[in-house]
Structure 1
């Protein structure tokens, strides 16, 4: 008798579960109960730890279904058109966003992008599965690579038109679901580079111990906002270093002697910046500028630069060859003048003597 009661209880529980999802039983895995969809967003920080100042958006759209398609004993239908599902916003990524260490890199995480299917008018009187496609809207964020993964999202609806569960699988290029149930997650990569500004002084009369003044302005973009601070490092002779703060959108001034360099970290690819030396081509120096070992023409007036992938090295070289000391010319000048006057007097004397002989 006790065994019968236990079996009856198990059977009743199974029937109740089946009725909740329209007579189907979902296998274990990543299944969201109810109709509130949550989209996970990760940004891998490739090259640093500064979180880009960006938001991301996602799109949910109806996915075409072949006629008479069934899964788990339920009819599968093309999803209903949704209002406000073409640009579902993530939270704001910035310096306050939580990060974790994964695989030797920092990863910024957000889970605030959501869509509630309970407000969608699904058909009544017949349980069904409504199928959608979920993707990320690719943006133009500086230094950002966007996730192009597409997901199939099945919304299980009961006979009263209420969503009971959500199931996601990855889609292939033919819009066909593959693999197991997965969480709905998009992972972007934010790649940053380092900029090195180096100073060299050459020539017989080059001043290797003189500090030459420079000016740099990092311009605002989608990832770097005006007013945000970047901690650069000035490398002096030996192992000495000095911190230099660069504020985005504001000109910063620093000085370099020959052999010294400034390293600016975590600049996203395609970041624009201006850079120039105050004494470019002055005081007898010939100034040349190279960018990644390539000469930059008109660097005194063309002060615009752009961060590229991998290597960003700008070298300013001031060359001044030996100059004849001006003091020597001043010392010789009186003697030279005397010689010229004596020669002129001799010419006059000889000319007068000739005239006297003729007379």
Structure 2
């Protein structure tokens, strides 16, 4: 009997000691109140080494839907629309989205949608994102907010809203041929870049390397929405125009002078890959005159007279004989 009593007392003491430990752990793990959420965004580059243009992404926050309150008539306070700004070449950025005050427990779900932009080469994110704010009773008559960003039909938790930038390069090579050509002659080449209808081509990231006159390169936006790239080439030049967005058409022209220019487009006139190329051949030939040179005419006439004399002497000698 004494053994059973001792065992019961030990069990009671053990359970009573565990209670405050559990309470401490629960307090330590209790979520803090979120006043804002960090919304992160990332731009993936399709091709290594490309540079994305500056861009400001706009987001709309829909009207909140309330569940789990246990009562009816609870409305969701509004969350303001927001934007995330990227500088040229920056691929990761964020904004801190401020949360409203809540006066009732529940789950408040807001749909976040990215506004479709018009930057050439940028693939905007059309996926449905949801901001879920779980409002809890803090035990002191107030409320605490816990926030989760989810995406997809299965409400998968995510930390980042992802976009993609697609751009490639155009490589222009030059060869000078012909018997009247000079390998150090230079030519001005113009590449006109035209975006698809409804798209805007930003010239900022577009660069030119390998030109014969590096200081004379020009990349500029035209009034009609195209971008003009101008540079100088000579024999054996290889010029690379980098960071041209996909689905941008290109046309190559040259001030050929007295040469005959042959421009060969190897890839169809539209950027749709990491690297595409155009070859330019400049040829200049001249005909060499193989007729009589007037400066030698007197000597030729003398030789002709000598020939006639020899023939006449030979004929007369044969007649005598």
When the two structures are superposed, what TM-score results if normalisation uses the length of structure 1?
0.60
CA contact (8 A) 2:190 2:254 kept: no
Contact 1:117 1:163 in 2 (8 A): no
- Give the 5 Å matches for 1:110-149: 110-111=93-94, 113-119=95-101, 122=102, 124=103, 126-149=104-127
Q: Report if the CA contact (8 A) 1:54-1:222 is conserved.
A: no
What CA distance in whole angstroms lies between the structure 1 residues aligned with 2:152 and 2:191?
Answer: 44
Contact 1:198 1:314 in 2 (8 A): yes
Q: Which residue of the other structure, out of 162, 165, 169, is the alignment partner of 1:194?
A: 169
Q: Distance in 1 between matches of 2:248 and 2:158?
A: 36
CA contact (8 A) 1:77 1:128 kept: no
Which is higher, the Rg of structure 1 or of structure 2? 2
Structure 1 residue 11 corresponds to structure 2 residue 23: yes
What residue number does 1:84 align with? 80
Give 3-state SS (helix, strand or coil) of 2:86's partner: coil
- Displacement after TM superposition at 1:230 (Å): 2.3
1:182 and 2:146 aligned: no
For residue 90 of structure 1, give the secondary structure of its aligned residue in structure 2: strand
- 1:210-221 maps to which residues of 2 (within 5 A)? 210-216=184-190
In structure 2, stretches of 5+ residues that fail to align are 1-12, 221-227, 299-321
8 Å CA contact 1:43, 1:188 repeated in 2: yes
In the alignment, the residues of structure 2 paired with residue 163 and residue 328 of structure 1 have an alpha-carbon distance, to the nearest angstrom, of 103
Structure 1 gap segments, 5+ residues each: 21-31, 98-107, 237-241, 295-304, 336-359
| Deviation string, structure 1 residues 148-172 (Cα, Å, up to 9, x no partner) | 3322321112457855111232222
Q: 1:166 aligns with which of 147, 154, 157?
A: 147
Contact preservation (8 Å) 2:61, 2:80: no
Q: Deviations over 1:301-356 (max 9, x none)?
A: xxxx764444532222223444244x958738x99xxxxxxxxxxxxxxxxxxxxx
Work out the CA distance in 1 between the residues paired with 2:39 and 2:168.
29
Q: Please state if 1:248 is matched with 2:211.
A: no
Q: 1:318 to 1:329 in 2, by over 3 A?
A: farther
The 2-side partners of 1:37 and 1:79 are apart by: 21
1:229 and 1:146, CA in 2 relative to 1: closer, same or farther beyond 3 A?
Answer: closer
Q: Corresponding residue for 1:25? A: none
Counterpart-to-counterpart distance in 1, 2:72 and 2:97: 21
SS, match of residue 248 in structure 1: strand
Quick check: 1:314 aligned with 2:278?
Answer: yes
Provide the rounded CA distance (Å) in 2 between the counterparts of 1:75 and 1:215.
72
1:7 is displaced (CA, Å) by: 0.9
